[in-house]
Structure 1
Amino acid sequence: MTEKKQLILNLFEMACISHISHGLWPLPGNNRHRFDELEYWTELALILEDGGFDAVFLADVIGAYDVFRDGPETALREGLQSPNLDPLLIVPAMAAVTKRLGFGVTFSTTYEPPFAFARRASTLDHLTKGRFGWNIVTSYLPNAARNFGLDGEIPHDRRYELADEYLDVLYKLWEGSWDDDAVVYDRERRIATDPSKVRYIDHVGETHRVAGPHIVHPSRQRTPVLFQATGSPAGTEFAGRHAELVFTGGRTTEEFRANKRNMQEAAVRNGRAAEDVKFIASAVVVVGRTEEEAADKWRLFQEHASIDGYLAHASLPVDLTTAPRDISVAEAIERSGKQLDRAPMLPLHLTVGQLLDSLVGGRRERFHVVGTPKVVADEIERWLDVDGIDGINLRQFHSFGTAQDFAELVVPELRRRGRLQTDASATSLRDRLFGRGDRLPDTHIAARYRGGANFDVPVPPLRFPVGGQGAAA
């Protein structure tokens, strides 16, 4: 009998008041206002560890949402990803109270030097005993660019070119600068590290000059598990070279499958196997002990959702709440005098009313289910077997209610069906997700630097499709 595919289960989080489900933080019992308390994160970590989650996926931004209504005021009123804490600093607290839970943490390649991040990532992999993963992003907010001394955003595909060199530096530091047995702790000879097993990397590239050696000794995974969120052509090529888990989506089964197929083909072009990349989708799961209870929860979330929050999050160049509801979105943007190319992801054919209603009034995602544990488990099995996902980032509507509901009601049902991992022997994040050990496979481009090899051999540039722009990620 064919073994059933098991679900990778992550909670989608962010150290802020309003992450992606806007307007809900004031609901009774919601803990989102506690995001700046250490106890929020340790309590959540225990819920996830005990509830069978594989990891918590921590999003991040490094700028304010200040495009909508020409300023940050709406986002600030909504608590939209501001204030926002550094997610890297939260991980040790969560790791201290757990033994199995993994951490996928967002960090941008665009604005900070690679040597400093290499140190932080290795430190976290040590402190978590190999449970650290990095969500690679290139940052898309105009305000983020201005925060780091630029006049505006670096063009989309150019950010991926910069990221490719950034990762090249990191791989040299993580994989090649130290041998596994460099640290000896020889008390009799008074030698902590064998100098012959540590080396400079002497990277000289278009953007970065990094001498090395890495300042941290090899951690359990060396290179953290590599996550990426993307759907654009340039992002797809980048994922094919680097990513192990891709956070992507699609409005239909066919669209998701096409995204998956394109990234698998990109992986093969980069000398990897198609199965070296796994696929995670954002999922709305609202579960109740009865259909009525689940429907009541979903109705409550819809009633309190904030249109302003969603519009500000989308960085819309025009305030659609002031436009007539019966005209098309495209016409509303044209009347405002703004450029259509500043809103490339909007459904321009819809009327303004249809779009505004869809933001708070119903099913917007393919991976969306409201119902009893059996209904939810049936749908998740379809996502695994028909759509072809490998896991979900569970979208939160209530903290800690969303995670608790899933852990208490859905996890037992998925376990009965053999859809969740129960083997506790794999304690590194990479081994838990792939079952192939702690380190990157030899086919990954990072492996070329093991033992200090190929430091002076240029990596072929990524070939991005012409006109690859089209998605923020």
Structure 2
Amino acid sequence: MSPSKNENGVKPNKKLLKLFAFEMGTPQLQCTNWSDPKNNTRNYNTLDYWINTAKLLEKGKFNGIFLADVLGPYDVYNGPKNFEAAAKSGAQFPTIEPSILIGAMATATKDLAFGVTFATLSEQPYHLARRLATLDWLTKGRIGWNIVSSYLDSAARNLLNGENLPPHQERYERAEEYTQVIYKLFLSSWADDAVELKNGIYSNPEKIRTIDHIGKWFTVPGPFVSEPNPYQRIPVLIQAGTSSAGKSFAAQHAEVVFITQFQPEKLGKEIKNIKKLAWENFGRPDGSIKFLQLITPIIGKTEKEAEEKYIEIQKYGDIEGAQALFSGWTGIDISQYGYDDDITAVGTNAVKSFLELWNKKSPTDSDQVKKTRAHIAKQITIGGLGPVFYGTAETVANEIERWVEISDVDGFNITYALQPQTFEEVVEFLVPELQKRGLVWEDYPDLGRPLTLREQIFGIDRKDSSFLEDTHPAYKLRWKAGETKEEFENRINKKRELNDD
């Protein structure tokens, strides 16, 4: 390795960007063109699809793959409980369970990490904690949990005995308690050294305790059924909410925050806002949360070739499916507007506020294009609610650098216009260009073991690089090796009393 580069394989004085692939076990995630003959998403429910994707991403030195998930169809468009457009277009419907995919991908890779979405409405925390613990054991610490409070009534009706989604604030209050239960199970039920494997003793019962959680939504006595692992102890905590409640939740709990904006200036404001909340309300300093922006790159050998690719891909876009996605994401039935209505003029305040920052354009759009229903639907067919960066690898890298310089974002969630073509182009053309500029590493650090996801995100310089940073609110909930049960309980009870004061 050249002496002009540091131990991570990049030139000094550059932010080392994090690259994640954004995927989902569904025919279409952030686009609606499964019928394009160059698109392989029809095979989303095969092992080869996921194994090949994971191998490709590791070849490109991606930090990880993030798996989105929903538990119901998008049924806001064209009236409530109408999932016709989602079904016909394959727009995030049907779906398969994401955690099972990780086992196959982890077996085929060494360093690639995995973020997986689980909603706090979907199952009891005790059950989810065991699933996450199992994944983190089997992958040797390559797991993160994307904490979502749910946003689809269609999911809630099936999870809550036919009831609609609880009010927004209530969902976050429930998510807060859910997360606290997860902390207690992972960190406070077993001591680090509870598993002894000597003198005929597998685990020492004196180093295992019940958590005795009794709350508004959950009663979980414990003890946890899974032993602690030496890799991360608890999976990386990820969050994607952008409401006031979501930002506050992220400021307190998240180690990684996914954000989607159409302008780097707005992205920078969002990042600064969450960092400010984290510091002022929870004592978490700058750098304790990393931020990732969603993008869809379309790369050509020339600018003209990239534009032609964009136009060709968009021909297969399903306009009805795009509107089903938009209506589901925003909760606003876009069918109430005429196709040629300028929605920024006639829409509700909620729609107007959302579209104020909408500057997404395809190569055929003029600078003065109106934000009509037809225009919005067309733009969603590629990239969904995120920007599309199209051009040569150099042009796309320039845009990435521009966004980083303006917003101070830490990395990007890269999703596809075509699968696997988009990821192949990123690996073959964009990653080498970013490496040349010192923006991403040239290889995974060789530690003689897999990197944990937390090390992928925060580096390997900290003393306990695979555990939560010491300013995270759950840091002190860890039952450390050498502590008796009484010592540990006295310590956390004292911490609880200080917090109550």
**Counterparts in 2 of 1:218 and 1:295: CA distance versus 1, 3 Å:** same
Q: Contact between 2:337 and 2:373, CA under 8 Å: does it hold in 1?
A: no
Counterpart residue number, 1:360? 378
Q: Contact between 1:16 and 1:84, CA under 8 Å: does it hold in 2?
A: yes
1:109 partner letter: T
2:111 partner letter: R
Q: Contact between 1:328 and 1:349, CA under 8 Å: does it hold in 2?
A: no
- Per the normalisation by structure 2, the TM-score is 0.84
How far off is 1:26 after superposition?
A: 1.3
Among 177, 185, 191, the alignment partner of 2:189 is 177
Q: Contact between 2:77 and 2:323, CA under 8 Å: does it hold in 1?
A: yes
Q: Secondary structure of 2:412's match?
A: strand
Counterpart residue number, 2:251? 240
Extract unaligned runs of 5+ from structure 1.
Answer: 334-339, 462-473
Mapping 1:372-411, distance limit 5 Å: 372-411=392-431
Counterpart residue number, 1:61? 70
Among 199, 215, 221, the alignment partner of 2:209 is 199
| Worse-superposed segment, 440-449 or 10-19 | 440-449
Q: Contact between 1:329 and 1:349, CA under 8 Å: does it hold in 2?
A: no
Q: Contact between 2:383 and 2:416, CA under 8 Å: does it hold in 1?
A: no
| Worse-superposed segment, 94-103 or 253-262 | 253-262
How far off is 1:372 after superposition?
A: 1.0
Does residue 1:442 correspond to 2:470, yes or no? yes
2:237 partner letter: L
Q: Contact between 2:338 and 2:373, CA under 8 Å: does it hold in 1?
A: no
Counterpart residue number, 1:337? none
How far off is 1:274 after superposition?
A: 2.0
Does residue 1:125 correspond to 2:136, yes or no? yes
- Give deviations 1:270-313, integer Å, cap 9, x for gaps: 12112101110001211112222211111112222222111101
Q: Secondary structure of 2:470's match?
A: coil
**Counterparts in 2 of 1:390 and 1:35: CA distance versus 1, 3 Å:** same
Identity in percent: 37
Mapping 1:258-407, distance limit 5 Å: 258-268=269-279, 269-315=281-327, 317-318=332-333, 320=335, 323=338, 325-326=340-341, 328=343, 331=346, 340=348, 346-347=354-355, 354-361=372-379, 367-407=387-427
**Counterparts in 2 of 1:69 and 1:390: CA distance versus 1, 3 Å:** same
Counterpart residue number, 2:47? 38
| Worse-superposed segment, 406-415 or 425-434 | 425-434
Q: Contact between 1:252 and 1:366, CA under 8 Å: does it hold in 2?
A: no
Among 7, 27, 31, the alignment partner of 1:17 is 27
**Counterparts in 2 of 1:139 and 1:459: CA distance versus 1, 3 Å:** farther
Distance in structure 1 (CA, Å) of the matches to 2:499 and 2:370: 46
Does residue 1:168 correspond to 2:186, yes or no? no
Q: Contact between 1:10 and 1:53, CA under 8 Å: does it hold in 2?
A: yes
How far off is 1:265 after superposition?
A: 1.2
Among 413, 416, 431, the alignment partner of 2:455 is 431
How far off is 1:200 after superposition?
A: 0.9
How far off is 1:254 after superposition?
A: 2.5
1:183 partner letter: V
- Give deviations 1:346-391, integer Å, cap 9, x for gaps: 5399998723213325998785421111111122122222221111
How far off is 1:218 after superposition?
A: 1.1
Among 17, 27, 30, the alignment partner of 1:7 is 17
Distance in structure 1 (CA, Å) of the matches to 2:264 and 2:357: 22
1:15 partner letter: G
How far off is 1:424 after superposition?
A: 2.1
Distance in structure 1 (CA, Å) of the matches to 2:404 and 2:386: 13
1:358 partner letter: I
Q: Contact between 2:334 and 2:373, CA under 8 Å: does it hold in 1?
A: no
Counterpart residue number, 2:200? 190
Distance in structure 1 (CA, Å) of the matches to 2:498 and 2:153: 30
Counterpart residue number, 2:164? 152
How far off is 1:58 after superposition?
A: 0.5
**Counterparts in 2 of 1:111 and 1:405: CA distance versus 1, 3 Å:** same
- Per the normalisation by structure 1, the TM-score is 0.89
1:118 partner letter: A
Q: Contact between 2:342 and 2:373, CA under 8 Å: does it hold in 1?
A: no
How far off is 1:171 after superposition?
A: 0.5
- Give deviations 1:33-66, integer Å, cap 9, x for gaps: 1111111111111011111111111000011111
How far off is 1:29 after superposition?
A: 2.8
Q: Contact between 2:265 and 2:406, CA under 8 Å: does it hold in 1?
A: no
Q: Secondary structure of 2:468's match?
A: coil
Q: Secondary structure of 2:20's match?
A: strand
Does residue 1:104 correspond to 2:128, yes or no? no
Distance in structure 1 (CA, Å) of the matches to 2:337 and 2:248: 40
Q: Contact between 1:369 and 1:376, CA under 8 Å: does it hold in 2?
A: yes
How far off is 1:151 after superposition?
A: 2.1
**Counterparts in 2 of 1:329 and 1:203: CA distance versus 1, 3 Å:** same
Distance in structure 2 (CA, Å) of the matches to 1:384 and 1:210: 43
**Counterparts in 2 of 1:282 and 1:327: CA distance versus 1, 3 Å:** closer
How far off is 1:320 after superposition?
A: 3.2
1:447 partner letter: Y
How many residues are aligned here?
A: 451
- Give deviations 1:238-283, integer Å, cap 9, x for gaps: 0011001100133323211111111101211212112101110001
Counterpart residue number, 2:58? 49
1:276 partner letter: S
Q: Contact between 2:294 and 2:386, CA under 8 Å: does it hold in 1?
A: no
**Counterparts in 2 of 1:92 and 1:328: CA distance versus 1, 3 Å:** closer
1:231 partner letter: T
Q: Contact between 1:324 and 1:352, CA under 8 Å: does it hold in 2?
A: no
